[in-house]
Amino acid sequence: SSVARYRPTREWHLTDFDIGRPLGKGKFGRVYMVRTKCEPHYILALKCLYKSEIVQSRVEKQIRREIEIQQNLRHPNVLRLYGYFHDEKRIFLMLEFAGKGELYKQLTKHGCFSERRSARYVDQMADALMYLHAKHVIHRDIKPENLLLGINGELKIGDFGWSVHAPGNRRKTLCGTLDYLPPEMVEGKEHSEKVDYWALGVLTYEFICGAPPFEDLSGYNATYKRIARVDLKIPSKVSPEANDLIIKLLQYDPEKRLPLSEVRKHPWVVGHRSKSGSTAIR
In the set 123, 141, 159, 179, the catalytic residue is 141
Closer by beta carbon to ligand 6Q4, 45 or else 199: 45
- Determine, following the binding rule CB under 6 A, whether residue 66 of this chain makes contact with ligand 6Q4: no
- How many residues are recorded in the chain? 282
Minimum CB separation from ligand 6Q4 for residue 272, in Å? 25
Burial degree of 15 (CB within 10 A; 0-12, 13-18, 19+): exposed
- Determine, following the binding rule CB under 6 A, whether residue 63 of this chain makes contact with ligand 6Q4: no
Closer by beta carbon to ligand 6Q4, 68 or else 253: 68
**Residue 255 DSSP label:** G
Stretch that binds ligand 6Q4, among 12-20, 142-150, 241-249, 272-280 (CB under 6 A): 142-150
8 Å CB contact between 101 and 153: no
Distance CA 191, CA 198 (A): 11
Cβ contacts of residue 97 below 8 Å, gap of 6+? 33, 43, 44, 45
Q: Which residue among 77, 124, 146, 223 contacts ligand 6Q4 (CB under 6 A)? A: 146
- Determine, following the binding rule CB under 6 A, whether residue 159 of this chain makes contact with ligand 6Q4: yes
- Determine, following the binding rule CB under 6 A, whether residue 125 of this chain makes contact with ligand 6Q4: no
How many residues lie near ligand 6Q4 (CB under 6 A)?
18
Closer by beta carbon to ligand 6Q4, 24 or else 188: 24
Distance CA 259, CA 114 (A): 24
8 Å CB contact between 63 and 80: no
8 Å CB contact between 257 and 200: no
Minimum CB separation from ligand 6Q4 for residue 26, in Å? 4
Q: Binding string to ligand 6Q4 for residues 83 to 112, with x set by CB under 6 A, is what?
A: ------------x-xx--xx----------
Task: Note if 141 is an active site residue.
Answer: yes
- Determine, following the binding rule CB under 6 A, whether residue 196 of this chain makes contact with ligand 6Q4: no
Written as one string, the DSSP assignment of 118-168 is HHHHHHHHHHHHHHHHHTTEE----SGGGEEE-TTS-EEE---TT-EESSB
| Chain contacts with ligand 6Q4 (rule: CB under 6 A) | 23-26, 31, 45, 47, 79, 95, 97-98, 101-102, 145-146, 148, 158-159
**Positions marked catalytic:** 141
